[in-house]
Structure 1
Amino acid sequence: MATLRNHLSAGGGLNHSGPDSPQEPQDAGATLAIGYVREFRMRVACFQVQRSEESLVYVQRSVALLGTKVLPAHFAPTPGNLELARFYVDLYALMGALKNEGAEGDVLWACVGLVQHCSRNLEARQAVVEHFCFVPLLGVLIRHTKRTERVHRLLVLLQDLTYGIKIAWEEPFLAALIEHLVGIVLCTEDVSCTASGGSVRDDDDENTMLALSVLVNLCYKNFAVLFLFLRSVNISAFCRRIQNYGLLAYKMLIILSEDVYSFQQSELCTFLRLSFAGIEDCLKHWNVAQLRHIVDFLLDSQSHPGLHRAMLSHGHFCEDFEKLLDQIDTSNGMDVSQEETSKHQQISLGLVFRLVSYILQMSEEANSCISLDAITPRLYEMVSDWMSSDQCGAAAIELICTLLRLGKRAAVAEMIANDPSHVAKLVASAERPDTDAGQVLATLRLLIALLQETKTNKVVLSKISESYFDKILAAPLALVPQFLSTQSLAQCEVEKACFCLLLLVNVAGIAKKAYLDKCCTLLEQPQLQYCLARGMVSKNEALVAAVLQIAQFEHFPKASVAKHVSAITSSPGGMMTKASAVGSDQVEQLRNLSSIFKANRIFTDKDMVQRVNALLDNIGGIVSRNELASAPTSQVIELYNHRIESLNGTVASLQQRLEQAGEQLTIGTQQAHVQSAELERFQSSNFQLLISQERLQTRCKDLKQQKVELKSNMTILLKQLSENSVQLQANERRLTVKKSEIADLQKDCENLRSKLSAKSEELTKLEAHNKENISRIDKLKKSMAAYEQDMTEKLRTIGERDRELAKTQKALEEQREACKKSEDLISVLETQLQERKAQIESLEMEQKETEDLRKTIMSLMESKKPKRKA
């Protein structure tokens, strides 16, 4: 509890706790987190000094609190966050010290759990891998760990941390780590890895898959690691061993190129289905790291000809993406209220959008059977909901552009025309200066594509205005035309300017009267001509194509742009080829991996190394048995063996020095990041001091002005003082008169005091009478409370009776209505009865007449009947 109170009383933000801190105020969770971080650093410092069991127990407790009480989001380092930078350095130093003392300690594994807890945040995971270099430390730790469950924990952590890792050179830890991982895969690290009968245990099989996954992550796009791996393993045995491990085996074999393993078409189709199943699993929990790894692997399919051909002939993309859409709909129903979960969701969707765009682009190639027309309406419906998001908005807009260009074009254009609200939102978002540059660029490209459609060009023209272009071009137009070469303009702003001008040219081609003058005016601006020149010499193919389309405009300033292009290309760093050269070299290496493998086969074949070692052992045996006939030859071989031993010693020494250099490099990298955080913090403080200085200078000017005003006010007050002295003398004379009046008033005061004493006695009597009245009032209040309670009960009873009365009245009204209806029915029936009576009477009359007629007829018949003869 004392520790918790200390945490709650810890000051402010992650950097400063004073009132003048330049950092923004943080929430209670961040304040509590920094308290735990500071306590951890204090406990680690005590442990490094004392090295006692008690201090180690305190360290373990602090690590447990950090892993349970602090959310992973609070471990994400921010610019100038010196406290967290030092925390990671101290955690690395603590794990290094505990590793040297023994790899099986509980505190060390609590630290491993803390690293795993931190890596659940994407920014913290990047810092753990790149800035503070925990992977080499974990690689050393896994080699010294024997317990199976802890090996499994380390493999899981290494798998999470190595997704997308970038390794540019053969770091010292790689050789031993790769050898250990290969040993786990080949089942040579543990003699008990196979049970009786040769069957592999489930836990060992799972560790094998994890080790293979780490190897895939390390070798993917890291050529130094790949060549080191090829030199460290018997490729044929390794390939035979991993063939039963599904998706991981396919990935590893694809990385090793077709020279190592020749794929069948059915195997590559199985790999694609397994890849989409892996994407579906990642979408269930928004696993960004693994999903990015799978998607990047598929996006790089052109580097493997067999895989590229398999993707072109894969006819199940529509079905696969439909399953992904179903999973996305299911996962969207989960709780994403937390900011971290929402961010992971958007990044995952952005990766899926990129994959769909790539598959659509592949449909352009010859011999392609790819078509996503069946799911185009559903794709658009889902993508349109994410076009305004921060993390995946640009990818969603690019996918809409790709659907317009390569998909079911008329259907997409019709859906956009039927609901133009999405276009309006994108146009409004692009105008705001805080919108991401990538999203603005994607929006501009979408508007250009929509202008080319007859169903949607009116939508675009109705949503934009002349001020829209001015807002997007605000950054380049703010440059000083005379000093364009000395001012900095981000490449993203250059791309925005070029595509914005392309949009304006297309709009002017449709509505010349409204936008032609605007287009010519902007193209005459030297700042925009400079942007067009930078776009022309850039390495971006789409940007160069956009500038060439703008150049087709009849009023394009060719001479001015050419002048800027010449100035840029003639400057020392104008072409900016270094970064792009590195990227192009990497792509070229990836494409020519087969030729590189063939050229380096003699250096990467472990079989050859094993044969040479066997030959040396054989010669050594011959020497030890003195079976060589020639003594000089024996001496040469003995000298040769001595030379080999000395070289082995030198290699071991160099390896040790390399490991020390790697450790020093790790420490230097960590210290550089700490120094960078300190520098950012200093710059922030310096900026605040500059602001304070300007504020104080402004305040000083105000004080000087107030000083002048006070001097003028003092002069006025002195003048008023002289005038007041004359008035004071007159007031003194009046005071003498007032004194005589006061004497008379004192006599009156004495009289009033005597009257006051009499009134006081009378007041005492009245107070006693008042007390009696107060007691009576209290009794009356109690009686009143009783009456009020009784009245409340009565009112409640009255309310109940009123409700019953209302129900009765309602029933009475119903009865009355029923009675009225009955009376109406009775009157109708009486009327009918009268009618029936009238009918009966008329019928009776008719019957009577008929009877009379019958009687008359009968009488006539009787009279006419002949009389019988007697």
Structure 2
Amino acid sequence: MSSNRACSNTKNNNNSVESPLHMQNQSDAALQHSIGYAREFSTQAAAYHLLKTEEPLVHLHRTIVLLSTKIQPHCFAPTHLELAKFFVDLQALMSALDDESDALWACVALLQHCSRNLEARRAIVEQYCYVPVLSYLLVRTTRPERVHRLMLLLQDLTYGIRIAWEEPYLVVLLEHLVDIVHNTECDASETASPQDDSSHALLALSILVNLCYKNFVVLFLFLRRVNISSFSRRIQHYGLLANKMLIILSQDVHPFEERELHIFLRTSFAAIDECLKQWNVPQLSHIVDFLLDSQCHPRLQRAMLTHTHYCEDIERLLDQIDARSGMDDSSEDMRKHQQLCMDLIFRLVSHVLQLSTKDNSNIISLDAITPRLYELLCCWMESEHCGVAAIELLSILLRVGRRGIISQLIAREPTTVIKLVASTKLADTKPDHVMAILRLLLTLLRESKTEKLVLAEISESYFDNILAAPLALKPELLSKHAIAQSEIDKAIFCLLLLINFANIAKKAYFDKCRELLDKPQLQYAMARAMVSGTEQVASAVFKIAQFEHFPRAAVAKHVANISASGNSNGETPSSTNADAEQWRNLNAILKSHRTLVDKELTQRVNGLIDSINSTLQNHELHNAPVSQVIELYNHRISSLNCAMSNMQQRLEQASAQITRTTQLNNMQNAELELFQSKNFELLISQERLQSQCKDLKQQTDKLKSNMSNLIKDFSESSEQLQVKERRLAVAASEILDYQKRCEELRSSLSAKTEEVAKLETHNKENLTRIEKLKKTVNAYEHDIKEKVRTIEERERDLAKTQKGLEEQREARKKSEDLVSVLEKQLQERKEQIENLEMEQKETEDLRKTIMSLMESKKPKRK
């Protein structure tokens, strides 16, 4: 029941009361409002950079506060040139302000406000590079409450951050965060107050986890500059964060016990529960990705395979989803966050179900909550951001679930599947959504309880509709730019579904399969799927290849052509496997690096010690060459230190230049998009003006012809006017006669009014009589209705009686036929009896005759 309530609440939230046009108008108005404030901010920021006085700073501070209070977070998504310029100006202002300025911390609050929108948050981290600015500000800040605010913001911004090279701010930030962790007492707890040092240590460790997770460069830099053994001992009291950090570092740093990893899993699910309370997408994504990547850590993978509390943990998450869905989630941002969180939850549950299939494990089972999961999935399968994950989870439940619970539920109430099939025919359905539905149909087709449902809902035209995009291309125009990869994947699964149909109903679909597989467009699609498709798509192509009329030669030719064109264009395969292997061999890489460094340092130190010992033994320390060598060596060390500091400065300058170039590039991209949109609008307006010009020319021609016609009509109407004037004079004399008649009619009117008064009184009497008659008529109508009802009942009885009479007549006819047959049989029996009696009589006469003869021949006794 709770899932049904959540489903109804979700539908109410998704189907807003306001019309789409009204919501769009509100959104446009809010965007224009935010653009106005952004322009004002850029103007005041430029004035402050020019004057550097207190007055523009006060106005600037007021505008920043208004931006963080009056403008909703979704308005800061950088979809407009003014907003892109706003983020660039905001970073320049934060770099220019003093650390103790209130305007600077108003900027931090504004940045925290903007980051609540996911698109703005992604732009803040990736496009406008605010993490370095905030990192340097964190190092310079000393007040605890401001440190806490900065670390909270950095924690939020670094969830899922990707860093590909050693940026100069990383060294400073990593050392500062490690110092915070080392300088904190060891009694840290998750419930520390915001101003506690222990809370700062937790936040610092959380930021370190975010920076090192899936960032090989940062992790390598961290391992080079930190004493890992002391750091790992220091953080062992920090619970979930400590376990995450130790898992990221390597399994050799801290050998986990299985009990610790099971506690880590329970704590992770509790953290997911907390994320669902606020629909915190970045943090939830970080936790779920961490659990999904457990195969990189063998002990964590083994712990997940032996964990026995998945059912109650996931049920607790479902309870939280039900409770949270009942709240007011009417805003667009909140609905999007909700759907993204549901997408992550569905992916996690899918991973848990897939773990249950490994090593034939019987430990993991979600059968107890499978019906509840199905109810939840039915509410979200049509959603934009989590529909694909919901459909994938339903497919996994069908394959992995025991006792066919899901197939029974679908067969009992097939409305959801019917809606999904209908949605694939719509033009606005996304290709990945269609592909997920096709995979679900393939799974349903293998179930005996749902096979007939799929066969009944899909016809031949369904496949033509799905394959319309690739079949619309001309065979000579086939290339990877002519058709998208999503359309390729959709066509592959559609073909696989059709072949499965042909295996079930060969007469109806076999010829259709042969006809489609002979199309060069689909042959090219299968070749593209084999070369550049995912593992699922390539597996689907291999299943299609099992069809007896699969065009192997044509597909192989397309594969060769695609591979040759890909090599000529310099394309390289994906480096995902290489990255995974790099992560797995991290310990070996670090050990070999430390070994080489240690050997080199040992050789240099030993050589230096030997040379110094030899000079001491020979008493040649004051000798010029030896002293010059030592001086040269010291000079070399100092020059190397200077070179290193110069390189560090150049690296910082290069990083700042890259940041400015990136921001300039983003602004130019925004300007280019604006120019392209303006150009497109100008082209449309030009075409519209040309069509209006043509229409105006046609209208002028029509007006000229109408003018000539009007002149002709005017000459004709002047003649008619003279005739009408003569008629008017005649009519004036007639008017005098009519006036006399009017006086007579007025006198008759007064007499008629008296008669009308009498008639009105009579009419009132008639009305009272009519009311009485209406009542009697109503009574008669009621009586008639009752009599009609009795007549209908009598007619029904009569119909039943007539039906019984007909049955009796038929029975009588049958009995009469039977009597006639029996009479015929009786007559035959009578004739047989008469014949037998005749024979008996003849036999009796013959017997008497024989007896008499025997008596006559018997000798007489003497």
Normalised by the length of structure 2, the TM-score is 0.76
Separation in 2, partners of 1:132, 1:498: 40
Separation in 2, partners of 1:603, 1:151: 40
Partner in structure 1 of residue 810 of structure 2: none
Q: How many residues align?
A: 704
How far is the alpha carbon of 1:182 from its aligned partner? Answer: 0.9
> 1:271 and 1:26, CA in 2 relative to 1: closer, same or farther beyond 3 A?
closer
Separation in 2, partners of 1:354, 1:140: 37
Partner in structure 1 of residue 153 of structure 2: 157
Separation in 2, partners of 1:730, 1:134: 87
> 1:515 and 1:225, CA in 2 relative to 1: closer, same or farther beyond 3 A?
same
Q: Say whether the 8 Å CA contact 1:569–1:575 is kept in structure 2.
A: no
Partner in structure 2 of residue 773 of structure 1: none
Q: Say whether the 8 Å CA contact 1:494–1:534 is kept in structure 2.
A: yes
Separation in 2, partners of 1:148, 1:734: 102
User: Are residue 660 (structure 1) and residue 656 (structure 2) matched?
Assistant: no
User: Are residue 113 (structure 1) and residue 135 (structure 2) matched?
Assistant: no
Separation in 2, partners of 1:77, 1:617: 62
Q: How does 1:325-404 map to 2 (within 5 A)?
A: 325-366=318-359, 368=361, 369-404=363-398
What is the aligned counterpart of 1:135 among 107, 131, 136? 131
Partner in structure 1 of residue 497 of structure 2: 503
Separation in 2, partners of 1:574, 1:379: 49
Partner in structure 2 of residue 246 of structure 1: 239
Separation in 1, partners of 2:63, 2:319: 44
How far is the alpha carbon of 1:230 from its aligned partner? Answer: 0.8
Q: How does 1:155-234 map to 2 (within 5 A)?
A: 155-187=151-183, 203-234=196-227
What do the CA deviations read for 1:155-174 (whole angstroms, capped 9, x no partner)? 11100000000000001111
Q: Say whether the 8 Å CA contact 1:479–1:487 is kept in structure 2.
A: no
Q: Say whether the 8 Å CA contact 1:279–1:294 is kept in structure 2.
A: yes
Given residue 295 of structure 1, which amino acid in structure 2 is its aligned partner?
V
Greater mean deviation of Cα atoms: 430-439 or 120-129: 430-439
Q: Give SS of 2:428's match.
A: coil
Given residue 218 of structure 1, which amino acid in structure 2 is its aligned partner?
L
Partner in structure 2 of residue 37 of structure 1: 38
Given residue 165 of structure 1, which amino acid in structure 2 is its aligned partner?
I
User: Are residue 472 (structure 1) and residue 466 (structure 2) matched?
Assistant: yes
What is the aligned counterpart of 1:450 among 432, 444, 455? 444
Partner in structure 2 of residue 535 of structure 1: 529
User: Are residue 635 (structure 1) and residue 631 (structure 2) matched?
Assistant: no
What do the CA deviations read for 1:213-270 (whole angstroms, capped 9, x no partner)? 1011001010111111111111111111111111111111111112222222222222
> 1:518 and 1:490, CA in 2 relative to 1: closer, same or farther beyond 3 A?
same
What do the CA deviations read for 1:709-754 (whole angstroms, capped 9, x no partner)? 5565566567x37xx658858978998x899999x99xx9xxx9xx
Q: Give SS of 1:537's match.
A: helix
What do the CA deviations read for 1:441-461 (whole angstroms, capped 9, x no partner)? 111100010001110011112
How far is the alpha carbon of 1:631 from its aligned partner? Answer: 5.2
Separation in 2, partners of 1:45, 1:571: 51
What do the CA deviations read for 1:667-700 (whole angstroms, capped 9, x no partner)? 1111111111111111111111222222233333
Separation in 1, partners of 2:405, 2:146: 55
> 1:710 and 1:562, CA in 2 relative to 1: closer, same or farther beyond 3 A?
farther
Separation in 1, partners of 2:721, 2:266: 108
Given residue 466 of structure 1, which amino acid in structure 2 is its aligned partner?
E
How far is the alpha carbon of 1:376 from its aligned partner? Answer: 2.0
Q: Give SS of 2:558's match.
A: helix
Partner in structure 1 of residue 53 of structure 2: 52
Partner in structure 2 of residue 591 of structure 1: 584
> 1:112 and 1:380, CA in 2 relative to 1: closer, same or farther beyond 3 A?
same
How far is the alpha carbon of 1:149 from its aligned partner? Answer: 1.0
Partner in structure 2 of residue 144 of structure 1: 140
Separation in 2, partners of 1:212, 1:604: 28
Q: Give SS of 1:390's match.
A: coil
Partner in structure 2 of residue 437 of structure 1: 431
Q: Give SS of 2:532's match.
A: coil
What do the CA deviations read for 1:468-501 (whole angstroms, capped 9, x no partner)? 2233223223323221127432211111111111
User: Are residue 563 (structure 1) and residue 557 (structure 2) matched?
Assistant: yes
Partner in structure 2 of residue 88 of structure 1: 87
> 1:59 and 1:573, CA in 2 relative to 1: closer, same or farther beyond 3 A?
farther
Separation in 2, partners of 1:52, 1:613: 57
What is the aligned counterpart of 1:693 among 667, 683, 686? 686
What do the CA deviations read for 1:343-390 (whole angstroms, capped 9, x no partner)? 111111111110111122122222743222232222222222211111
> 1:291 and 1:618, CA in 2 relative to 1: closer, same or farther beyond 3 A?
farther
Q: Say whether the 8 Å CA contact 1:231–1:603 is kept in structure 2.
A: no
> 1:168 and 1:617, CA in 2 relative to 1: closer, same or farther beyond 3 A?
farther
How far is the alpha carbon of 1:409 from its aligned partner? Answer: 5.6
Given residue 260 of structure 1, which amino acid in structure 2 is its aligned partner?
V
Separation in 1, partners of 2:724, 2:196: 111
Partner in structure 2 of residue 856 of structure 1: none
What do the CA deviations read for 1:799-839 (whole angstroms, capped 9, x no partner)? xxxxxxxxxxxxxxxxxxxxxxxxxxxxxxxxxxxxxxxxx
Q: How does 1:676-715 map to 2 (within 5 A)?
A: 676-709=669-702
Partner in structure 2 of residue 286 of structure 1: 279
Separation in 1, partners of 2:138, 2:259: 37
User: Are residue 485 (structure 1) and residue 484 (structure 2) matched?
Assistant: no
Separation in 2, partners of 1:450, 1:596: 48
Q: Extract unaligned runs of 5+ from structure 1.
A: 1-22, 753-870
> 1:122 and 1:409, CA in 2 relative to 1: closer, same or farther beyond 3 A?
farther
Greater mean deviation of Cα atoms: 464-473 or 151-160: 464-473
Separation in 2, partners of 1:194, 1:452: 57
How far is the alpha carbon of 1:83 from its aligned partner? Answer: 1.1
Q: Say whether the 8 Å CA contact 1:231–1:604 is kept in structure 2.
A: no
Partner in structure 1 of residue 755 of structure 2: none
Q: Say whether the 8 Å CA contact 2:276–2:341 is kept in structure 1.
A: yes
Q: How does 1:261-340 map to 2 (within 5 A)?
A: 261-340=254-333
Separation in 2, partners of 1:545, 1:209: 45
Partner in structure 2 of residue 521 of structure 1: 515
How far is the alpha carbon of 1:296 from its aligned partner? Answer: 0.3
Q: Say whether the 8 Å CA contact 1:568–1:575 is kept in structure 2.
A: no
How far is the alpha carbon of 1:574 from its aligned partner? Answer: 8.1
Q: Extract unaligned runs of 5+ from structure 2.
A: 1-23, 740-862
Separation in 1, partners of 2:101, 2:600: 41
Q: Give SS of 1:47's match.
A: helix
Q: Say whether the 8 Å CA contact 1:386–1:393 is kept in structure 2.
A: yes
Q: Say whether the 8 Å CA contact 2:162–2:215 is kept in structure 1.
A: yes
Separation in 2, partners of 1:318, 1:575: 50
Q: How does 1:809-828 map to 2 (within 5 A)?
A: none
Q: How does 1:720-739 map to 2 (within 5 A)?
A: 720=712
Given residue 238 of structure 1, which amino acid in structure 2 is its aligned partner?
F
How far is the alpha carbon of 1:609 from its aligned partner? Answer: 8.9
Q: Say whether the 8 Å CA contact 1:230–1:604 is kept in structure 2.
A: no
How far is the alpha carbon of 1:430 from its aligned partner? Answer: 1.8
How far is the alpha carbon of 1:42 from its aligned partner? Answer: 1.8
Separation in 2, partners of 1:553, 1:232: 59
Separation in 2, partners of 1:609, 1:111: 48
Normalised by the length of structure 1, the TM-score is 0.75
> Structure 1 runs of 4+ off > 6 angstroms?
607-620, 729-735, 737-742
Separation in 2, partners of 1:83, 1:573: 42
Separation in 2, partners of 1:253, 1:312: 20
Greater mean deviation of Cα atoms: 38-47 or 520-529: 520-529
Q: Say whether the 8 Å CA contact 1:312–1:367 is kept in structure 2.
A: no
Q: Give SS of 1:315's match.
A: coil
Separation in 2, partners of 1:367, 1:519: 37
How far is the alpha carbon of 1:204 from its aligned partner? Answer: 0.6
